[in-house]
Structure 1
Amino acid sequence: MVKPTERRVGYGVAIGYGITDLFGGGAFAVIGTWLLFFYTTYCGLSVFEAGSIFAIARVIDAILSPIMGYITDNFGQTWLGRKFGRRRFFLLLSSPLMLLYGALWVTDMGYWYYLGTYLTIELLSAMVLVPWETLSSEMTNRFSERTRLSGVRMMFSSLGSFLAVSVPGIIMQFTGKDNAITYTLTGVIFSLIYCVAVFITWLTTWEAKDIQPEADPALTSARQGGMISHFKYFFMDLVSSFRIKAFRQHLLIYIFSFTASDVFMAVFTYFIIYALKQDASLVSLLLSNMMFMSIPGTFLFMMLLGRFNVTPSSALRYSYASIIVVLFFLFVVYLQQWQVPTLLFGAIFLFLGIARAGLYYIPWNIYSFIPDIDEMVTCKRREGIFAGVMVLTRKSSVAIAIFIIGVVLQESGFVKGNGAQPESAIHAIVGLMVFVASAMLAVSFWLTFKFKLTQRSHKILIKEVARRKLGGSAARCDAETRTVIKDLTGYDYDAVWGAASEKNPVPVKAKPQLNLKE
């Protein structure tokens, strides 16, 4: 029988896996682009009330996503996990529940209804995205195939984002530009799409559940203890994930760059309507151009990382620099109040779409290799806990950005509704979109110089993990490999691979070599 990681991942499988990012990318693109505007314009909520919904959801999700990761890492010990898979079971369960996404977009229901529906979607997204994120690492350990999985999923993410901004524009042609039914119909359409997408992923993917190392009975017994025991091990796993140097660096790059993008997306509608004095149809046109070009843009960055062997850090710097240039172009347009021809405006956003593709694709491609680095430290596969942290971070970047924007706009004198805004509010909108977003991208740009994961360093890492699994000794490790391990893990070579244990998952000093069961 062919083992899961020995099965080949062609483009058909990659499509089946990646299609769920119509939800991962699209659902939160819709939320980031339209939900604050929808709440404050059609639902009777103040900017502060709307922002508080996102903030409350973040407090709950701060624990929810990592817990979901811990559950999926250990769900294989249950009857359901053995029968349906420790990851894919949750995809099967969540597919019909995707229909609840449409409940977000109902008008005149009151603050508590909107809080409850948003929290429900947060729970549902954790059930889908956390186990789904682990599958690329479980299905294959080949760099090229993981790059393919990551690339195809980001193309679907870009397609989901494209649909998020273009579908409302299409519906506006029939319902009018200032009609709440536009957003309600959008929610219903997307809920049906997400339901089908998650089911297809469940149908076409697999897990590496039959190649896990044999568990130590004592450790298995401990993991099957009561609630206190599970909470203890969850907390240990969560904390230890942040001790991996490459993961810390990756998270910082990811947080700053994605939050910059979220700030731009949340404020852009206000910028076009109030700062440039255009209507919402231009928002849909420009963002549609941007999202559309994200699809070929993702393929371009796939080629840069794969065929042309450009390092992830260098590719990210190309992306960030290009986005900053476009942001300051928009600032000049505002200052001079230029009447930019629609064709030129559209072309600039096509370019922005290519640059934005790198911002989104590269961090998620990098993420799929983080569990390999962690395995060098802990001798365990913990895709779930890393997926939980990543999903938490992604959703947090959207909600924190929207909450901050809500507070800033509230303090700047923003008036809810469709009327004209005071100069102080317009200045706040422009400052957030141009200067805050650019500053965050500049931080990520600087951090890329410290990040050492490349295609070559990953090959060295995988080769060393395989050698140690076959019983290779620490003494026979060459100097280059030792340097790579130190750069990626943050630990000297003699402090990894067996230096960690269940009671102490983070190596603090070198220990004698242990076998996999330790």
Structure 2
Amino acid sequence: MVKPTERRVGYGVALGYGVTDLFGGGAFAVIGTWLLFFYTTYCGLSVIEAGSIFAIARVIDALLSPIMGYITDNFGNTWLGRKFGRRRFFLLLSSPLMFLYSLLWLTDMGYWYYLGTYLSIELLSAMVLVPWETLAAEMTNRYEERSRLSGVRMICSQLGGFLAVSVPGVIMHFTGKDNPFTYTLTGLIFSCVFCIAVFITWYTTWEAKDVQQEASFKVDNQRIGGLLNHLKYLVLDLFSSFRIRTFRLHIIIYIFSFTAMDVFGSVFTYYVVYCLSQDASAVSGWLSIAAFASVPGTYGFMLLLNRLNITPSAALRLSYGCIFIVLAFLLTVYLTKTQVPTLLFSAVFILLGAARSGLYYIPWNIYSFIPDIDEMVTQQRREGIFAGVMVLTRKSTVAIAIMIVGLVLQESGFVKGNGAQPESALGAIIGLMIFATAALLAVSFFTTYRFKLTRETHKLLLKEIARRKLGGDYRDCDARTRVVIKQLTGYEYDQVWGGSASRRAEGTARLSAAK
């Protein structure tokens, strides 16, 4: 997929691609907001039983994402994959299955029913989101078009989160807040939305096979075999992904910054209620302001990357810098006990929402360029395994972060339900929300200085891949390109494209495109 394709990605195509994140951003936002309450209030489950469903699903889901990534990377070796596409086949299959989501919201069905339906949604999520996330890298190799796809996708995700909060509230006005049918109807409405969204994405997108000649696809006979053979290559692919220098740096930036926002979000309510002694309703108002600001904020970062040609590293530092300012403001308010005007607080959370949109958008934009760098090493397109690793690491770290926050609060003497907390608990809240968040962001901030992927370096990379695919000699590569290849891959030029790095990254010496 190295030659620029004839098909272009305008905003219409980008919207068709991005609407699937109504499912990614909306489905689990509804679950996170309402499902535990629904289980314990209307389904006869105890808190322990309901919690066990989420815990079991978390473990299984951590395994599903990389497995699904491996499957989609290698599905082209099957007849179905060659006929319908190794990625989009799963979108077409999953569209009608979206109505499984409505089955979550039936009452009085028993523990095993609820466990089974929730696990089916986790499986459906992996079937949709992992292959879908790879499409941005498959549909185009143009920097600005991939940025457009990622940006519109994030806007749709934020819209999905907004619908998750607002739609149940609207329905409650008609059905009553104590009526379980409210949740059943909510599930059915979202099932219809998700079904249509995934079908639109299937209809409006394409993948590499659609813009390459069929002859360029070869069945990988070494990856056709029994379960043990597939497990071997799954493990090899997982570990080999971390041999790519840019991906290692990307994971550090991604995990530390996203975890910082997890810690901030999990403690912010405690900060408002106990440190500022304000009503919990203020939390919803300020976070709603931040969520509203994130939509134009995402578009603003798209313009920075595409129109002003700001590097991803510089844009991330801008985002982190604004969040540091917000943290300093919140710390100052606590220490000085200042009564801050509502207008000023609103302005601060507009800044937070806009800055946070860059923090979320840019790493997923960067992801779409990682497979190009990997191709320079392995001569393969492995979008799926990188998407799987990102989802796996993200879901693992968010669970660990929330657990650590809970342990710190418990050890600090925090008393659940009290109107006032001891000084030790207040100190823990400030320490987590301000200093832990800032420390995690600082790791990402300084890592960006080592991150060398830009529009210019990506163009040089694509030119070199195209040259080598046309049979170009490795000795004809210019000095500037050799430096860029090393900065991006972490390997000397002579080690990539069939060299020693290629064989180690693939876990086998079968690559034959020798220098």
TM-score tier (shorter): 0.7 to 0.9
Show the counterpart of 1:305: 305
1:206 aligns to 2:206 (yes or no): yes
> What's the RMSD between the two structures over aligned residues?
3.6
Structure 1 residues 324 and 501, CA, compared in 2 at 3 Å: closer, same or farther? closer
- Give 2:328's aligned amino acid: F
Partner of 2:475: 475
Query: What's 2:71 paired with?
Result: 71
Structure 1: distance between partners of 2:145 and 2:243: 27
The separation in 2 between residues aligned to 1:176 and 1:311, in whole angstroms, is 50
Contact 2:375 2:381 in 1 (8 A): yes
TM-score by length of 1: 0.85
User: Which string of whole-angstrom CA distances, capped at 9 and with x for unpartnered residues, describes residues 163-188 of structure 1?
Assistant: 34555666787899999998777655
- Alpha-carbon offset, residue 199 of structure 1: 2.0
Q: Residue type of the partner of 1:482?
A: R
* TM-score, normalised via structure 2 length: 0.86
Task: In structure 2, give the amino acid aligned to 1:235.
Answer: V
SS in 1 for 2:206: coil
Which moved further from structure 2: 421-430 or 80-89? 421-430
Change (3 A) 1:293 1:122: same
Q: Report the counterpart of residue 290 of structure 1 in structure 2.
A: 290
Asked if the contact 2:236/2:507 (under 8 Å) is kept, the reply is no
Secondary structure, counterpart of 2:141 in structure 1 = coil
State the distance in 2 between where 1:398 and 1:38 align: 23
> Which segment drifts farther, 310-319 or 34-43?
34-43
Task: Report the 3-state secondary structure (helix = DSSP H, G, I; strand = E; otherwise coil) of the residue aligned with 2:5.
Answer: helix
Offset of residue 265 of structure 1: 2.5
1:348 partnered with 2:348 = yes
1:193 aligns with 2:193: yes
> 2:130 — aligned with what?
130
Gaps of 5+ in 1: none
Alpha-carbon distance in 2 for matches of 1:18, 1:447 = 29
**Contact 1:4 1:206 (C-alpha < 8 Å) held by counterparts:** no
TM-aligned CA deviation for residue 436 of structure 1: 1.9
What are the residue-to-residue correspondences of 1:453-472 with 2, within 5 Å? 453-472=453-472
Contact in 1 for aligned 2:26/2:160 (Cα 8 Å): yes
Could you tell me how far 1:430 is from its partner in structure 2?
A: 3.8
Q: In 1, Cα distance between the equivalents of 2:280 and 2:177?
A: 7
Amino acid at match of 1:296: P
CA distance in 2, matches of 1:233, 1:306: 37
In the alignment, structure 1 residue 268 sits paired with structure 2 residue 268: yes
1:390 aligns with 2:376: no
Counting only pairs closer than 5 Å after superposition, residues 19-418 of structure 1 correspond to structure 2 as 19-30=19-30, 56-101=56-101, 118-167=118-167, 189-210=189-210, 211=212, 214=216, 220-412=220-412
Answer yes or no: is the 8 Å Cα contact 2:72–2:87 preserved in 1: yes
**For the Cα contact (< 8 Å) 2:237–2:506, is it kept in 1?**
no
Identity %: 70
| Cα gap change, 1:155 to 1:88, in 2 (>3 Å) | same
Count of residue pairs brought into register by the alignment: 508
Alpha carbons 2:378, 2:503 under 8 Å: kept: no
Aligned equivalents of 1:34, 1:333: Cα separation in 2: 32
Q: Residues 489-508 of structure 1 correspond to what in structure 2 (within 5 A)?
A: 489-499=489-499, 504-506=504-506
Following superposition, the deviation at residue 160 of structure 1 comes to: 2.3
d(CA) in 2 for partners of 1:241, 1:142: 23
Q: Find out whether 1:7 has 2:7 as its counterpart.
A: yes
Report the residue type matching 1:459 in the other structure.
K
Contact 2:102–2:191 (CA under 8 A) maintained in structure 1: yes
| Inter-CA distance 263–168: structure 2 relative to 1 (3 Å threshold) | farther
How far residue 40 of structure 1 moved from its aligned partner, in angstroms, is: 9.3
Q: Deviations over 1:424-473 (max 9, x none)?
A: 55554443322222211111111111111011100100111111111111
* Residue number in structure 2 paired with 1:439: 439
Q: After superposition, give the CA deviation of every residue in 1:112-165 in whole Å (9 maximum; x if it has no partner).
A: 777655544332221111000111111111112111111111121222233345
Instruction: Report the CA distance shift for 1:346/1:99 in structure 2 as closer, same or farther (over 3 A).
Output: farther
